[in-house]
Amino acid sequence: MLASSLRWGISATRPVYRQALGARAPVIRRGYVAPPSKPAMAKIVNADRTKGRVADDEAKSDMHPVSREEIFSHAMEGQKGERPASRPIYLDAQSTTPTDPRVLDAMLPYYINQFGNPHSRTHAYGWETESAAEQGRKHIADLIHADPKEVIFTSGATESNNMSLKGVARFYKSKKNHIITTQTEHKCVLDSCRALQEEGFEVTYLPVQSNGQVNLDDLKAALRPTTAIVSVMTVNNEIGVIQPIKEIGHLLKTYGADLAKELGRGTPKPFFHTDAAQALGKIPIDVNEAGIDLMSMSSHKLYGPKGIGACFVRRRPRVRLEAIISGGGQERGLRSGTLATPLVVGFGEAARLAKEEMAYDHAHISALAKRLRDNIMSRVEMVLLNGDPEGYPGCTNLTFQYIEGESLLMALKDICLSSGSACTSASLEPSYVLRALGLDDANAHSSLRFGIGRFTTVEEIDFVCDKIVAVVNRLRELSPLWEMVQDGIDLKTIEWSG
């Protein structure tokens, strides 16, 4: 069934995705974008292995427009029967997203027939894969309004963050030794900054306001003539807060540039780096309008393949950085290594689809997020919404007071949720992001992150809401703390024996 392909077999008995969305969610219809035509040599050979895939450009030209049913029935071709109904509902889109079937179709020829090294300049196999890689690079550049030459491929946002921070800091260390970031950045940014501190750099970790946004006055006060780079995440991976990126970029181009002049003529302004892994393809980004100098991106947060990311590195005015990977000098000498053409093609196709369907995706996800919040918060008392209510709706973080978050997660085995970043999920410590908002340990431990994505359905949201309400009520009935609160006792006045 179509809906089960979207939910990876969660239920074989629920209505199809189109019916559920059309009947119950006040969002516009998706007009799927048809796959682009492939290069001249991109033909899938051995027809008995294609399981019905269209093998050439001429046949594919008859498929416009591509319907929803065609796309997902095509993706499930060859599957025998329905997937098991025990498959849990996936609401952890900030951790990763499923690869869009159209992205997979775009990648397959470069695994089977067009397998050449894109850096081989002496034969057709290299030429065709180089062309495909450059087309993927262009799709990513178009999504962020950049020049394709400014897109440097990496293994993911973690590498891009390391490359940006360490590369800029080390290149300009003779004149500048100061870095600014926030307390709510991704762990790889914070750990990169700590590594640079051990090398002698000074780092300022700015606090955030109660809604998760950085205070621009605090940032301005922290700027110095020796500030080399400022790193602020576009959309936070735990609470979905959207930072004032344009305002930060403007501040660095004006006040930051004036401060840099104190070190002598020609000294560059503080460079602006942003981790946009959770923002790419979900909200509009224009690197020129926002004054961004370096930006980290990741494919698997965008319904693309895992193992591929990119870093935007501005060329005019030029951003110079010290490479952290040495080798054959690929990617402008900033990131050596052979490009994985299938992954680059998949990332590019995911970016192309995201640009075309961003309005639909945002409307769909916004409607589901509102449905989730309204349903739960109208039926359960003492629930807090963490972060900015105007942030990215696909990342909803709720605190269920007087309940242990781990107990709540264990009771929700048929729902894939998170209590924080996937990169720190092995830690028993409360989320440092929530602590930065002002939450105490108890409330931080009682929080859940709901990651809503492109393929989430209304029916799944309703099921999750009913399950959450039932589990929260049951756990609170077992909690002596909840009983004390109901009796009007202020828990802060109690002196606990230890």
Ordered by where they begin, the domains of the chain are 132-350 (3.40.640.10)
The pLDDT of residue 427 is 52
The 3-state DSSP composition of the chain as helix, strand, coil percent (nearest 5) reads 45, 10, 45
Look at 121 and 424; give whichever has higher pLDDT. 121
In three-state secondary structure terms, 473 is: helix
* Closest C-alpha among 372, 385, 379, 398 to residue 452: 372
CA–CA gap between residue 11 and residue 82 (Å, rounded): 9
CA–CA gap between residue 272 and residue 394 (Å, rounded): 26
* Closest C-alpha among 277, 283, 281, 205 to residue 244: 283
CA–CA gap between residue 396 and residue 448 (Å, rounded): 8
Average pLDDT in the chain? 84
The pLDDT of residue 404 is 77
The pLDDT of residue 394 is 97
pLDDT at 87 over 90: no
Average pLDDT, integer, range 248-264: 97
H or E, element range at 167 = helix 157-171
Sorting pLDDT into bands at 50, 70 and 90, what band is 66?
A: low
Let me know if 490 is exposed, middle or buried by CB neighbors in 10 A (0-12, 13-18, 19+).
Answer: exposed
448 has which bridge partners? 398
| Contact present, 140 and 147 (Cβ < 8 Å) | no
The pLDDT of residue 455 is 96
Cα dist from 197 to 124, 158, 165, 263, 439, whole Å: 48, 18, 12, 22, 28
Look at 83 and 130; give whichever has higher pLDDT. 130
CA–CA gap between residue 31 and residue 53 (Å, rounded): 21
CA–CA gap between residue 386 and residue 232 (Å, rounded): 19
Sign of CA dihedral 278, 280, 286, 292: positive
Please state which of the ranges 46-55, 235-244, 292-301, 469-478 shows the lowest mean pLDDT: 46-55
pLDDT at 363 over 50: yes
CA–CA gap between residue 19 and residue 69 (Å, rounded): 12
pLDDT at 80 over 90: no
DSSP assignment of 208-249, as one string?
Answer: B-TTSPBPHHHHHHH--TTEEEEE--SB-TTT-PBP-HHHHH
| Contact present, 164 and 296 (Cβ < 8 Å) | yes
Catalytic one of 188, 416, 423, 465: 423
Average pLDDT, integer, range 118-127: 93
The pLDDT of residue 34 is 54
Look at 371 and 47; give whichever has higher pLDDT. 371
Quick check: is 423 catalytic? yes
Peptide bond into 225 cis (omega under 30): no
Q: Write the DSSP symbol of residue 450.
A: E
In three-state secondary structure terms, 202 is: strand
Q: What is the pLDDT of residues 205-221, one digit of tens each?
A: 999 999 999 999 999 99
Sorting pLDDT into bands at 50, 70 and 90, what band is 54?
A: very low
In three-state secondary structure terms, 396 is: strand
Average pLDDT, integer, range 160-184: 97
In three-state secondary structure terms, 441 is: helix
Q: What percent of the chain has pLDDT over 90?
A: 69
pLDDT at 234 over 90: yes
CA–CA gap between residue 256 and residue 363 (Å, rounded): 37
Average pLDDT, integer, range 278-303: 98
DSSP assignment of 261-297, as one string?
Answer: GGG-TTPPPPEEEEE-TTTTTTS---HHHHT-SEEEE
Average pLDDT, integer, range 18-27: 40
Q: What is the pLDDT of residues 397-426, one digit of tens each?
A: 999 998 877 788 889 989 999 875 444 444
The pLDDT of residue 488 is 72
Q: What is the pLDDT of residues 314-336, one digit of tens each?
A: 999 999 999 999 898 888 888 99
| Contact present, 307 and 343 (Cβ < 8 Å) | yes
State both tokens at 308.
């591929």
Q: What angle do CA 478, 483, 485 make, to 5 degrees?
A: 135
